[in-house]
Amino acid sequence: MNVHAIGAIFEFEMARFFRTLFQSVASPVLSTSLYFIVFGSAIGSRMQQVDGISYGAFIVPGLVMLSVLTESISNASFGIYFPKYSGTIYEVLSAPISAFETVAGFVGAAAAKSLMLGLTILLTARFFVDYSILHPAVMLLFLVLTCVTFSLFGFLIGLWAESFEQLQVIPLLIITPLTFLGGSFYSITMLPPFWQKVSLLNPVVYLVSGFRWSFYGASDVSLGLSLGMTTLFLAVCSALVWWIFRTGHKIKS
C-alpha cells in the first residue's frame, strides 16, 4: 500500500478544509444552534419529553446526524468533482496509485472533516441542553461509520455529476427530506402504524435510531438492525465505487 500517496491526497483535502474553516465549521454549527433555539426552546416548551427524555436532549443525536450526513456528502462529492471539472483527475489516474489508495485519500479526508464537525456540534450542544452519553464507544462507532459511509456516497455523487447543479440534486431533493423524515426531531413511534412501517424504508431511520441508542439506551429499532443496515449501505457504496474505478465509468470517459 502506498501510504505516502494516501497521505498526500488526505493532506491536500484537509488543507482546503482549513482554508475555508469558517464556511466548513462555523456555518453548520450556527445552523445547528438555530435548530436548538427553534426546536429545543419553542417546540420543547410544549413537548416536554419523548421516550422519557427531555425534547431538547432527544434531538441532539438527530441534529448531529443531520449535519454529519450533509457535510459528509458535500465534502466528498466536491472533493472528487472539482478535480474532474478542472482536469487534474488525470494526474491522479496516471500516477502509480491504486483505486483503493485514491478512494482512501479522498474519502478519508471527507470523513475526517465530518467527524470533526460532528464532535464540534456535540460540544456546542452542551451550551443549550444537558445530555448524557451512556455508550460512548457505540456513539463513536456510529459516528465514524456514518462519516465513512456517506462520504463514500458523496464520492459516488461527485463521480456521477457532470455539473455543479447535478452535484446538489441528490443531497437537496433526496438526502435532506430523508433526514428530516428519519426521526431526527421525533420518534417514529409517534406516527400512525401505517407511516411507522413506511418510515422503516428510510435508511436514515436506522442511523439516527442507533446513534440515539448510544446516548440514552432508547431507539425506534434494535441496535443490531441499525448496525446491520449501516454496514449494508457501506458495503453497497464500496462495491459501486470499486465498479466505477474498475470500468472507468464517469472517470475516463
Q: State residue 123's pLDDT score.
A: 87
The confidence band for 182, taking pLDDT boundaries of 50, 70 and 90, is confident
- Whole-model pTM: value is 0.86
The confidence band for 43, taking pLDDT boundaries of 50, 70 and 90, is low
Task: Determine the 3-state secondary structure of 219 from DSSP.
Answer: coil
Of all helices (H) and strands (E), which one includes residue 57? helix 55-86
Gap between the Cα atoms of 90 and 84, Å rounded: 8
Q: Using one digit for the tens of pLDDT, what is the confidence trace for 52-109?
A: 788 878 888 888 888 888 888 988 888 888 887 777 777 776 777 777 888 888 889 8
Q: State residue 141's pLDDT score.
A: 92
Q: State residue 138's pLDDT score.
A: 92
Q: Using one digit for the tens of pLDDT, what is the confidence trace for 124-138?
A: 888 888 888 899 999
Gap between the Cα atoms of 111 and 202, Å rounded: 22
What average pLDDT does the chain have? 82
With the C-alpha atoms ordered 165, 167, 172, 173, is the resulting torsion angle positive or negative? positive
Gap between the Cα atoms of 26 and 121, Å rounded: 10
Q: What are phi and psi of 249, to 5 degrees?
A: -60, 130
Higher pLDDT: 250 or 211? It is: 211
Q: Using one digit for the tens of pLDDT, what is the confidence trace for 187-233?
A: 888 888 888 888 888 888 898 898 999 998 888 888 889 999 889 99
Q: What are phi and psi of 217, to 5 degrees?
A: 75, 10
Cell representation of residue 57: 436532549
206 Cβ contact list (under 8 Å, min separation 6)? 221, 225, 226, 229, 230
Gap between the Cα atoms of 60 and 39, Å rounded: 11
Q: State residue 249's pLDDT score.
A: 64
Mean pLDDT of 6-33: 77
